[in-house]
Amino acid sequence: MNALDEIIGAVRADLAKRRRLIPEAELSDRVAEVGPGLDCAALLSGADGLKVIAEVKRNSPTHLSSVPCRPGDRLADILDPAGLAAEYEAGGAAAISVLTERHRFGGSLADLDAVGARVRVPLLRKDFIVDAYQLWETRAHGADLALLIVAALEQPLLAELLALAAEIGLTPLVEVHDETEVKRALDAGAWVIGVNARDLRTLEMDRGVFARLAPEIPEGVVRIAESGVRGPQDAVAYAAQGADAILVGESVVTGGDSRKAVAELVAAGRLGGGRGGVVTSP
């Protein structure tokens, strides 16, 4: 069993508990009340410079010494996720990513609620979504984007979840790590694709993955570089390689001045060029 399988096993166990407490029909009613989210494909396109998605991230699985996550194991002991997100927004973040997985990352839907009540930029729920229930849950808690990880989903389910996300007003961010996964994402109809430099099965990092895969992603599809952003130099590089946006967690969480760290990434991304272009969504 690899690292991704272990994470998904815990996610499914937590999901079963939440499903017993709140029926899917109740979540559907909540989604009808909140309405559709923002059109994040347009907001994250690189037409006017590289965008930064800054992450509220208590931990990375590569930093854990135990599972479930305990406070002493954390990458950052974030007591005020809403305050951190507000700093990101003030620094120019185009969107906020909130990790809600509990066991490996120490997150929760309460974090998502708190951040959503504080900021106005779009919210990404970053979790391991393997069931339609989680998409209803995601929009009911106010997120505008939902992460769909190709490596965690069989192709029919990937296509089904992508279509449902669009139907209920979520922008699906479809995450890939290799050429086969890019093809699968495109075949399923993805219009926002994130290239993760970290292989979730082995947890190994390869910062060259985005440069290799970006040419496989056609014009009209938003390209997001995920993981491996250590500072402004990486933002410049990713922009030059054709990224519309970067998703960054560790360096802005641990750097001390989160607002400044985000602002520096935003400024550096403009120097990299970016590809711009028109982004279309269904």
Which residues are known catalytic residues? 55, 57, 126, 175, 196, 226-227
Helices 155-167 and 179-188, packing angle to 10 deg:
50
Q: Which helix (H) or strand (E) holds 201?
A: none
Look at residue 146 and give its three-state secondary structure: strand
The pair of structure tokens assigned to 97 is 């990513």
User: Could you tell me the sign of the dihedral formed by the alpha carbons of 101, 103, 107, 108, in that order?
Assistant: positive
Q: How many residues are given for the chain?
A: 282
Spatial CA neighbour of 248 closest among 269, 271, 233, 231: 231
Rounded distance between C-alpha atoms, residue 129 and residue 257, angstroms: 31
Backbone angles phi, psi at 231, to 5 degrees: 175, -170
- The 10 Å Cβ neighbour count of residue 10 is 16
